[in-house]
Amino acid sequence: MSGPGPARADHTARRALGPPVTRPLLVVALTAMLAAAAGTCSAAVPGFVEVQQAHRPSDTWFVDRHGEPLQALRTDLQARRGAWLPLAQFSPALRELAVQGEDRRFWTHAGVDWPAAARSAWANAQGRGAVQGASTITMQLAALLDPALDRPSGGRSLGQKLSQVAAARDIEAGWRKPQILEAYLNLVPLRGELVGVPAAAQALFGKHPSGLDRAESALLVALLRAPSAPAARVTDRACALLAAPPRCERVAALAERVLAGRSHAVQSPTRIAEPRSGEALAPHFARWLSSAPPGVSGGPTIRTTLDARLQRLARQLLREQLAELQGREVEDGAVLVLDNASGEVLAWVGSSGPGLSEAHEVDAVLARRQPGSTIKPFVYGLAFEQGLLTPASLLGDTPADLDGGSGAFMPRNYDHRYRGWVSARTALASSLNVPTARVADLLGADALFDRLQGFGMALSGTGGHHGLALALGSADVTLLHLANAYRSLANGGLWTPVTGRPRGTATAPAPRRVLDTRAAFHVADILADAGARAATFGLDSALVTRGFAAVKTGTSKDMRDNWCIGFTDRYTVGVWVGNAGGAPMRQVSGTQGAAPVWRALVSHLHERQVSRAPRPPAGLVAQALRFEPALEPPRSEWLLAAAPATVPLRVQAGEQVVLQRPAGIAHPRDGTVFALDPDMPSPVQRIRFTGEAGQWWLDGRLLGHGPSLAWAPWPGRHRLALKSADGRVVDQVAFEVRGATVRGSPARGEPARP
């Protein structure tokens, strides 16, 4: 290597220092100058406790309700820092080698190693190779605590150096030596984005600092002086610290493995960090909690509402179920468990995880999907609340051609069968599409949309945009919003937001009523009725549990989404199965896909205490019902004490005959076509309008009142409307009459006598 020879170095030194001086005199002069300057440049420095409390790790640690680690989340993307560790938690080898390599007289000097400073100044003045420094550990700590003392690229000025000396002396005056070394090891920058030995030990070796051996410790200490140095240079310095060839071979191997390819630039940060236990249990939940108000910042350990044991079980059950469905083109799923009373999240599995899903970073708890039939309970709940239906009301399960708002809406049942007259209980429990669409037609799309929004569904668009298809789950929702809406049903129609943090003594948000108590009870009672759902699901399906459980499945169009959501007296459990990319599954129904996971979780949650059915609210009494004709088997039904006696199909209640109404217009059905025979006398040819009692309007003209009305038909297309006493349209249908004018028929529009 080329460089200045001795003569050139001497000349340079003489020109810089003036008359020749001896090395001892230079040492004395520099020592006196620095000591005097240090006494006049002193600045206030923070105390040890203040620095310790201000430390913020780059990862926020999330623990479950019992304190068990769940997940680490990267909240500072500029640097990676670990939690502050006491000195005793750094391995003895690391503590020893740090002092040996950075500051041999650390335990004896008062902040500045004056002899080392003088030797460094003399060597630098003599031009002996690279510029040498003499910063002690205390002086380096002073620069870490005060950004103004940070070393610039061109080196510190004399004023900055003197300020650093003064700060170091102040630290030594107020801190104990172990505190200085502890703070230094926690705060010193290392390779790339790594700050502090705790972060470096985890990132480079996957170890806690207490477990570092001498070779690993030597490599870290070698990085203290030159964090961005090439691996070979770091290896040489580490070997010099150890002075042991066998260990040097291991240091070289370590350096090649952990330093190769790492530059001084900040590495691309990852949002999810590894938890202290090495098990990433709740990455999606941690992301959600960090983004939900009030959010989280780097540093503290966040206690959550999750139960680590339940979280593991939910993840395991989901993965096992998806493994069972191999070959049916389904790879993703999600699970959510809520506490009914508090709204606390007990389990949040956002994905089936690596190995099963190609999109395991996607949080399916928050992904918006079509809910299918899981929306139906809210349709019937609104109809119960408005008094349009009771669970015993009869609905027509026949082909329908409804006005969907933006065009014709022709719902079909899942099994493509029609059952004629069915009760509202059977229609909801057995998840029949056509009766549900007829109920939605009574309610109107706008009213249903507003009610779903009240349940916190956060739907997009408007009721008019979705039309009546809204009742069959056409609008996208999240598992989080849908499960919390079911939790509102479990709580008797009261809605509160979910929470991922224990509220403790904090005031819980006031509940908001979104459904009448009686209507919520009716829905829960129906969803828990295994007999009522048997027509579709059978008596021994994955929806049957040991105690009370109200549950509903749902499958979206083309089998893209499969849901099972339900609640017990204490918990609400929601499960989704499908594909993150939206690809359809192959032959996976609600009871085959999501329901087995749901039932296994419910069984676990109630393995010690059986779930109990809710008590009926005031005003409802159990009445024994018998249908005439026998459309459904006799049963007990919860009805108001004074059930209205109206209209045509009879239901026997105890000793009294209660005429139970079909909702809206029973006959004719929408889209019916009548053909007239001109050779038959007009008194014989009558079309009888039947339904609930009200005002009958045909083509905008009032025909009459009552539960039924006979009308002399007139050829053409007609629109029949049934209105309540206050003029509100209860139901309306369109039908057509074909054929010649009937002989002797009354004038068009004139009602015939019943």
pLDDT tens digit string along 5-64?
A: 333 333 333 333 334 444 454 445 555 555 554 444 445 789 999 999 989 888 888 999
pLDDT single digits (tens) 488-501? 999 999 999 999 99
164 domain-assigned? yes
What is the mean pLDDT of the segment spanning 305-315?
Answer: 97
Q: Considering only 463-477, 530-544, 610-624, 650-664, which range has the smallest mean pLDDT?
A: 650-664
Residue 210 token pair: 């207490």
**Is residue 315 assigned to a domain?**
no
Cα dihedral 294, 296, 297, 298, rounded to 10, equals 170
Best CA proximity match to 77, nearest among 332, 221, 266: 266
In this predicted structure, the answer to whether residue 297 has a pLDDT above a threshold of 80 is no
pLDDT score, position 75: 78
pLDDT band at 130 (very low <50, low <70, confident <90, very high): very low
Among 63-67, 258-262, 286-290, 536-540, the range scoring the smallest mean pLDDT is 258-262
**What is the pLDDT, as a whole number, of residue 279?**
63
Both 597 and 546 in a single domain? yes
Residues 569, 652 share a domain: no
594, 681: one domain: no
Residues 697-720, mean pLDDT to the nearest whole number? 89
What average pLDDT does the segment 388-404 reach? 84
pLDDT at 69 over 70: yes
* From 84-93, 657-666, 723-732, the region with the lowest mean pLDDT: 657-666
| Together in a domain, 295 and 421 | no
Q: What is d(CA 478, CA 470) in angstroms, rounded to the nearest whole number?
A: 15
Assess whether 99 and 124 both reside in one domain: yes
378, 488: one domain: yes
Residue 724 belongs to some domain of the structure: yes
- Based on the domain organization, do 147 and 252 belong to the same domain? yes
Stretch among 9-23, 288-302, 356-370, 506-520 having the lowest mean pLDDT: 9-23
Q: Cβ distance 404 to 467 under 8 Å?
A: yes
Statement to judge: residues 566 and 655 lie in one domain: no
Query: Cα–Cα distance between 520 and 566 in angstroms, integer?
Result: 13
Separation CA 754–CA 711 (nearest Å): 8
| 3-class DSSP string for 184-241 | HHHHCECCCCEECHHHHHHHHHCCCHHHCCHHHHHHHHHHHHCCCCCHHHHHHHHHHH
Q: Examine the pLDDT at 325 and tell me if it is beyond 80.
A: yes
User: What is the structure's pLDDT at 515?
Assistant: 97
Query: Token digits for 742?
Result: 């009937």
pLDDT of residue 514: 97
Q: Are residues 47 and 68 in the same domain?
A: no
pLDDT score recorded for residue 645 = 37
Query: In the predicted model, is pLDDT for residue 148 greater than 70?
Result: yes
Sign of CA dihedral 248, 250, 256, 262: negative
Give me the pLDDT at residue 153, please.
58
Region 140-150 average pLDDT: 85
Looking at the fold, whether 225 and 84 belong to one and the same domain comes out as yes
Structure tokens at 114: 């004056």
CATH of residue 484's domain is: 3.40.710.10
What confidence score (pLDDT) does residue 751 get?
33
650, pLDDT greater than 90: no
Look at residue 738 and tell me whether its pLDDT is greater than 60.
yes
Residue 720, token pair as written in the block: 């029949």
Residue 177 or 592, more confident: 177
What is the arithmetic mean of pLDDT over 171-194? Answer: 93
Residue 417 clears pLDDT 90, i.e. is over it: no
Consecutive H or E run containing 421: strand 420-423
- Residue 569 pLDDT exceeds 90: yes
Given the DSSP bridges, would you call strands 332-339 and 571-578 parallel, antiparallel or unpaired?
A: antiparallel
Domain coverage including residue 625: 620-660
Distance CA 680, CA 691 (A): 27
Average pLDDT over residues 446-464: 94
Low-confidence winner among 211-215, 443-447, 650-654 (lowest mean pLDDT):
650-654
Q: Is residue 648 part of a domain?
A: yes
Q: How confident is the model at residue 123 (pLDDT cuts 50, 70, 90)?
A: low
SS3 content of the chain, % helix, strand, coil (to 5): 35, 20, 45
Number of domains, the chain: 5
Report yes or no on 510 lying in a domain: yes
Both 292 and 391 in one domain: the answer is no
Which percentage of the chain shows pLDDT scores above 90?
42
pTM, whole model, 2 decimals?
A: 0.72
Per-residue pLDDT at 150 exceeds 80: no
135, 620, 629, 640, 642 from 623: Cα distances, Å: 90, 9, 18, 9, 11
Is 597 found in the same domain as 506? yes
Q: Write down the mean pLDDT value for the chain.
A: 81
Strands 194-195, 80-81: pairing is parallel
Of residues 462 and 275, more confidently modeled: 462
Q: Is residue 322 part of a domain?
A: no
Examine residue 116 and state whether it is found in any structural domain, yes or no. yes
Q: Please give the pLDDT value at position 42.
A: 46
Q: Which of 481, 489, 480, 563 has the alpha carbon at shortest distance from 519? A: 489
pLDDT above 90 for 643: no
| Greatest mean pLDDT among 157-161, 398-402, 421-425 | 421-425
User: What whole-number percentage of the chain has pLDDT above 70?
Assistant: 79
Query: What confidence tier does 121 reach under pLDDT thresholds 50, 70, 90?
Result: low
Whether 205 maps to a domain, the answer reads yes
Taking the C-alpha atoms of residue 672 and residue 690, their distance in angstroms, rounded to an integer, is 14
Average pLDDT over residues 127-151: 73
Average pLDDT of the segment spanning 683-699: 82
Band (505; pLDDT cuts 50, 70, 90): low
Enter the tokens of residue 747.
């004038």
Domain boundary among 660, 690, 724: 660
**CATH number for position 708:** 2.60.40
